[in-house]
Amino acid sequence: MRKISIINTALTILVSIGLTGAVFAEPPTDRAETATIKPGSSWSPPGDDKSVAFAFSDGEVTLQSNGEWSAKGWIRHAGILCGRYSIGVQFGIGSPGCINVEWKNNPQFSVPKSQCNNAVLKHLVYEKAPELKKSFEKITCARRVVRCTGNCKGSSGTFTNEP
Q: Domain with 143 in it: what CATH number?
A: 2.60.40
> Which residue range(s) make up the domain with 80?
26-160
Q: Is the pTM of this model over 0.85?
A: no
Cβ atoms of 93 and 139 closer than 8 Å: yes
Instruction: Tell me the C-alpha distance between 130 and 147, whole Å.
Output: 23
Q: Is residue 17 part of a domain?
A: no
Give the pLDDT of residue 38. Answer: 80
Q: Is residue 8 part of a domain?
A: no
The bridge status of strand 68-77 relative to strand 51-54 is: unpaired
Domain assignment of residue 10, yes or no: no
Domain count, the chain: 1
Whole-number Å distance between alpha carbons of 77 and 80: 8
> Taking residues 36-61, what's their average pLDDT?
77
Residue 79 lies in a domain: yes
Task: Name 49's Cβ contacts closer than 8 Å, sequence gap at least 6.
Answer: 64, 65, 66, 68
Average pLDDT of the residues in 125-138: 92
Dist CA 14 CA 38 (whole Å): 48
Judge whether residue 12 has pLDDT over 70.
no
The pLDDT, as a whole number, for residue 153 is: 73
The answer to whether position 4 is within a domain reads no
- Report the amino acid identity of residue 91: F
In a domain, residue 97? The reply is yes
Is 19 part of a structural domain of the chain?
no
The pLDDT assigned to 55 comes to 76
Give residue 89's pLDDT.
92
